[in-house]
Every structure is written in C-alpha cells, then in structure tokens.
Structure 1
Amino acid sequence: MTHGLLSAHLTRARFLRLLAALPAGAVLPSFAQQQPTQPRPKMTTTKMNTRPIPSTQEALPVIGCGTWIGFDQRPGTDEYRRLPGVLDALFAAGGTLIDSSPMYGRSEETTGELLAATHHLQQPPQPLPENKAFLATKVWTSGREAGIAQMEQSFTRLRTRRMDLMQVHNLLDWRTHLATLRGWKDQGRVRYIGITHYTASAYADVEAVLRAEKLDFLQINYSADAREAEQRLLPLAAERGVAVIVNMPFGGGGLLRRLRDKPLPAWAGEIGCTSWAQVLLKFVLAHPGVTCAIPGTGRAEHMADNAAAGAGTCGDAAFWRQHAAGIAS
C-alpha cells in the first residue's frame, strides 16, 4: 500500500486535546512540535480533473506539487512550518502527485516527515489511505550499486515501502538504472518507471530513449515560452503510451514573474482563470499529450491557486492559437 497522507487541520484547541490524549513520555513527531503560525488558506471544494496513465489507465489528477527549493527546509524555520498547509491544499483540491529527487537537498526527508507526522497524530492512528499521495522521486548517480543505495535512501526518507514512480533524473546512467527498476517493478517495489529532463538541448537523447525503451512516464519542461517539446516529444510520448509530467510550467519562474504585475486579460475568464499562474497551467494542460503538471511551491496559498487550474476547461487549440503568443511575448 502506498504511504500517503491523512490530511488534518489542527486548531490549537484540537492540538491540545491530542496532546492530552498521548501517553506520558510520548514523543511527538517534529511536525507536531512546530504548529503553523499562520492560518491555513480556504480550501476549494471543486475537485480537479484527472487523466489516465496510458500504461494502466489509472486516473491521475492533473496538478501535483514539485518540491525543489520549496521543501528543502529544516524543522524550526518559518518555511518548514508553512509546508503542512501546502499538502493540505493539494489534497483538498484532489491532487495526489508529489515529486522529489535526492538532488533537491532535504526535500525527500521533509516530505516523508510531513506525511508521517499527520498520520501519527490520529488518535488512534488510522491506516494510511491507499493512493492518497502519489509519490514520485528520482535516481541521480552513476553505477548500479550507487543507484540502488540512493534509491533505498529515498524509500527511507519518504517513509514508504513502495514507490509510485521512480525516474532516472536527467538520463544519468539511464541504461543501468532502468535495468534495476524493471526488476523492482516486477517485484512490486515500484509501480511505474520513467525518465526526466529539463532542457531542450537534451531532447534528442530523450527522444532516443523514448523510442528504444518501454517507459510509463516522461517528465519534461514545457511552458508558454518554452514550447519545443510540442514538436517531437509530446507527440512521441502519446504514440508510445507514455504519461507526461510537465516540470517548469511557469517557464522556470521567469515568465510568471514578468506577468504577475500585469492585469489579467478578459479572455482568462473564459477558461475560469483568476490568476496568471492558472493561465500558464491551463496552457500546459491544454495539450492532449500532457498528463500532469507539477508547479513547485512552499506556500499553501500558491498551491491552492495552482490546484484550481486543474478544474474546469483548459481551452481548445484554437483558443490558444489566438492567445498563447501574446503571453510569451
């Protein structure tokens, strides 16, 4: 069973009741010791859309959460105390995918702590719900034994016995790691396997691996101002039955920063957008080859705003032919 999260909104009063119910000498997990100082954002009641993972037809919610930078935080900091609200917002909106990597500093460890802490605060502890969190991480090293050691560490940090998705990060020693992962998939240790990259200069290599190997997932960059993946990779992934996770849907952050202070165009309301972040995410999701986008954030209000882009319509090809060029320029 996938280790996920039983989401809890802890008021001060409820926290004190839980504290009183614990046996003497009990040690609370670090999450419980550091309650957020800011109120959680109001959560949406509209559940997000899902799309099928081609290799199994399992439904995957279209917005997830990336953990680069945002989750690389240590207990005791204000940034760490905000993170439970990020997961609350993701799950409340119907999202499940949390993507991490051993190259993201402390992000895997932080994610595991937050997921486990909320579970342990249930009185009595409740079974971890299957498929509540879709955990994805990566292997990013060379050599079979080094790869196995790193992936075992990821299992430990994320506190799970089975990983939903393990990806070869930036194609580093991909032949070696895919051989290991196929064996682990047969054993049930991982559910899906895939590859990742984030730069157009690597697209030829990514294409070659997609053509040569049987994969479940491709994670790649795609945004309104970086559309090279439309040319070959997204159509090829669809042809090969590979789910696509989009990283950097905001153009690496630069595009969103440039747009943030500009007025939202009237046409954004036609697809239900109330922010530029939602516009950029709906552009990405409008491509039929995209399965899920994973904007990264360490703030609950941003996660809630991002997740709202997963509901309703994304606009058709004609809509974006009319408006996408104006966004990028």
Structure 2
Amino acid sequence: MKSVNLTRREALRFLSASAATLATGPAPGFPALTQTTMLNRAIPSSREKLPVVGIGTWQTFDVATTAEQEPLRQALKAVHQAGGKLIDSSPMYGRSEEVVGTLTAASGIQNAFFYATKVWTRGREAGVRQMEESMRKMKRSTMDLMQIHNLVDWKTQLETLKAWKTAGKIRYIGITHYTDSMHDDLVEIITKVPIDFVQFNYSILSRNAEKRLLPVAQDKGVATIINQPFAEGRLFSLVKGKELPAWAKENDINSWAQFFLKFLIAHPAVTCVIPGTSNPRHAADNMLAGHGRQPDATLREKMAALIRNL
C-alpha cells in the first residue's frame, strides 16, 4: 500500500472534507483517501477482506431526535469515505441499532457497510426474538456478523447462530467480552468451538490480550475485533495538553487517536478496531489510522514506553 504522509494541517483538512461530503472526492491537491487505500485484513474463515478501522455505537448512537442523529449521519459518511465498513452495535445499546438502520437506509450507501450486532439474552426463544428484532431495527435481511454479547447463555445462543448461518440469515458468528478477566474464557471457547470472530478489550494501556488471546486467535484462524481501544477515554486524559513527539509524525501518526489506534492495528492478529464516537471529525481522524505506514515492532514498543512513562 502506498504511504499517505499527512501533516497535521492536511489531516484536519481531510477531517473537514470527510464530515461535509460523501459523494464528491477530496479537494484539489489533497491526497485521495478512498475505500481502496485503507489497510484491509482478511477474515480467516473466509478470506474476505475487512478494513482495519470501523465504528462502535455504545452510548454514542443511543439518541432520540433528528438533530441528535445529524452528527452521527456525518460520522458514518466520514467512515465510508475513508474506507471503513464495520459498524458494531447491540440490543444493550439502547436505540443504537435502530439509529444505525435509519441512518444507513437513508444514506444511499446502505450495502457498503459491514453490519455487526449481538444477542444479549437467555433462552433460545428469547434469543431468536431479540435477533429478529435487531434485524428489523438495522433493516437487514442478512446480518454480516451476529455475536454473543458478553458470553450470555453462549452455548444456547451458539446453536441458534449455527442454524442461522447455515440458513444464510447471518454470515459470521462471534463472541464478545470487555474485561481482561474473561480473556481466558474466550481463549477456551475459540480453542474448542468453530467461531469466526472474537471481540474483546485491548489498548496500549491494557495489553493483557497479547499474552494468550491474540496469539490463540491468530493460530485458530479467528478474526478479532477490538473494543475499548482508547481505554474508555483514559488515554486522552493522559495526553491532554501534550504534543505528539516528532518521531510519531515522521511515521504517519498525526493525532493521539491515530497513535493509540495504529499501535493496535500494527499487531498482526488484529483484524479491526471499533472506536466509538458521535463526532464526525473524530470519526474521520480515527479512520486515518488505517492509512499510511503502520508501526513495526520496535516503534510499537517505543509508543508503549512513552505512554507508560507519562
């Protein structure tokens, strides 16, 4: 992939352009960041390519009014224009599934996204009802990825997911959690059960996933989705008021968000990161992490040491 080396000012110009328009290209003289230039990783079970940065909807998409939805519409446009695809949601996230469905259906690019949601209940019948409701809210006849949220009644729900995948109602099966303490459980399941995706927490501050979960996922051919990539915002608190080091900018890292996301993307077992935001400029900035050079192992450790020593 050709490197796109942007200055901070150029990156901000792209953020504004991404939030303002979808159908038109970048301004004259500005690098053309398109769906073809974001780094992609293969989903091991199918070899389908998936862009490495998507968007999460926890809290941010749980809104009620048209006015509140407008920045989210612009955020989704920014994701699409910069080459992102995966939108992750859940019945747990309030109105988020319905907002995703409404905004993407009205966008003219509804089928350009990769839709992921979850089943979050106990019992077969309750699971079926909930998933059918999720499909209705997100306006999907086929869900790209259905995940068992936080492993709730996972053995029961897994049987339904297998049947739905065979029937073509879903394309991929996944499991999720959000705490370090559950990583061993995720490892045990993906070691014994055919699973397409595993979603879990991982950040430059919380690297427990590197011990077993990421290596086992890579060995077993399971795609990985990273939640809490900003450690629930704690990372931005650490760097508030601090300038990016020159060596970061020299390596196509032009914001702290890109710094934190590129650290994760550079791990070869990471398939996609899903930072959540309702801010179009932040969404566009996040997408830039999938463009340009990615850190090598030496640079990753230099990045980790910088954050560790703050």
TM-score (normalised: structure 1) = 0.82
Q: 2:32 aligned with 1:45, yes or no?
A: yes
| Whole-Å separation in 2 of the counterparts to 1:224 and 1:270 | 20
**2:59 alignment partner in structure 1:** 69
| Whole-Å separation in 1 of the counterparts to 2:20 and 2:267 | 30
In the alignment, which of 231, 236, 261 is matched to residue 281 of structure 1? 261
Superposed CA deviations along residues 142-165 of structure 1, whole A, max 9, x for unmatched, are 111111111000000000100000
Q: Which amino acid aligns with 2:237?
A: R
**2:12 alignment partner in structure 1:** none
SS at match of 2:226: strand
Q: Which amino acid aligns with 2:45?
A: S
Q: 2:163 aligned with 1:151, yes or no?
A: no
In the alignment, which of 200, 207, 220 is matched to residue 200 of structure 2? 220
Larger radius of gyration: 1
| Whole-Å separation in 2 of the counterparts to 1:171 and 1:257 | 31
Superposed CA deviations along residues 128-152 of structure 1, whole A, max 9, x for unmatched, are 674x110000011111111111100
| Whole-Å separation in 2 of the counterparts to 1:319 and 1:40 | 31
In the alignment, which of 218, 227, 241 is matched to residue 247 of structure 1? 227
| Whole-Å separation in 1 of the counterparts to 2:83 and 2:159 | 33
In the alignment, which of 295, 299, 303 is matched to residue 323 of structure 1? 303
Work out whether residues 104 and 110 of structure 2, in 8 Å CA contact, stay in contact via their aligned partners in 1: no
Cα RMSD, aligned residues only: 1.5
**2:287 alignment partner in structure 1:** 307
In the alignment, which of 87, 90, 93 is matched to residue 104 of structure 1? 93
Q: Which amino acid aligns with 2:95?
A: R
In the alignment, which of 155, 173, 178 is matched to residue 193 of structure 1? 173
Q: Which amino acid aligns with 1:156?
A: R
Segment drifting more, 57-66 vs 247-256: 247-256
- Percent identity (aligned): 51
Alignment of 1:53-202 (within 5 A): 53-77=43-67, 79-119=68-108, 130=111, 132-202=112-182
Superposed CA deviations along residues 199-250 of structure 1, whole A, max 9, x for unmatched, are 0111121111111110000101110000000000000000100000101111
Segment drifting more, 232-241 vs 315-324: 315-324
Counterparts in 2 of 1:189 and 1:80: CA distance versus 1, 3 Å = same
| Whole-Å separation in 2 of the counterparts to 1:101 and 1:286 | 27
Superposed CA deviations along residues 93-122 of structure 1, whole A, max 9, x for unmatched, are 011100000000100000000011223xxx
The runs of 5 or more residues in structure 1 that have no matched partner are: 1-38, 120-127
| Whole-Å separation in 1 of the counterparts to 2:206 and 2:180 | 9
Work out whether residues 45 and 92 of structure 1, in 8 Å CA contact, stay in contact via their aligned partners in 2: no
- CA deviation after TM superposition for structure 1 residue 295, in Å: 0.2
- CA deviation after TM superposition for structure 1 residue 195, in Å: 0.3
SS at match of 1:244: strand
Give the 4+ runs in structure 1 shifted more than 6 A.
Answer: none
Work out whether residues 263 and 303 of structure 2, in 8 Å CA contact, stay in contact via their aligned partners in 1: no
- CA deviation after TM superposition for structure 1 residue 41, in Å: 4.1
| Whole-Å separation in 2 of the counterparts to 1:181 and 1:212 | 16
| Whole-Å separation in 2 of the counterparts to 1:176 and 1:192 | 17
Segment drifting more, 241-250 vs 316-325: 316-325
Superposed CA deviations along residues 261-303 of structure 1, whole A, max 9, x for unmatched, are 2111111113201100000000000110000100000111000
- CA deviation after TM superposition for structure 1 residue 69, in Å: 1.1
Q: Which amino acid aligns with 1:96?
A: K
Q: Which amino acid aligns with 1:234?
A: L
Q: Which amino acid aligns with 1:60?
A: L
- CA deviation after TM superposition for structure 1 residue 326, in Å: 1.6
Q: Aligned pairs, how many?
A: 281
- CA deviation after TM superposition for structure 1 residue 58, in Å: 0.4
| Whole-Å separation in 1 of the counterparts to 2:90 and 2:76 | 17
| Whole-Å separation in 2 of the counterparts to 1:41 and 1:251 | 29
Superposed CA deviations along residues 47-89 of structure 1, whole A, max 9, x for unmatched, are 3110100001100000000011111111233x32211100110
TM-score (normalised: structure 2) = 0.87
Alignment of 1:196-211 (within 5 A): 196-211=176-191
SS at match of 1:118: coil
Q: 2:209 aligned with 1:229, yes or no?
A: yes
The runs of 5 or more residues in structure 2 that have no matched partner are: 1-17
Q: Which amino acid aligns with 2:19?
A: R
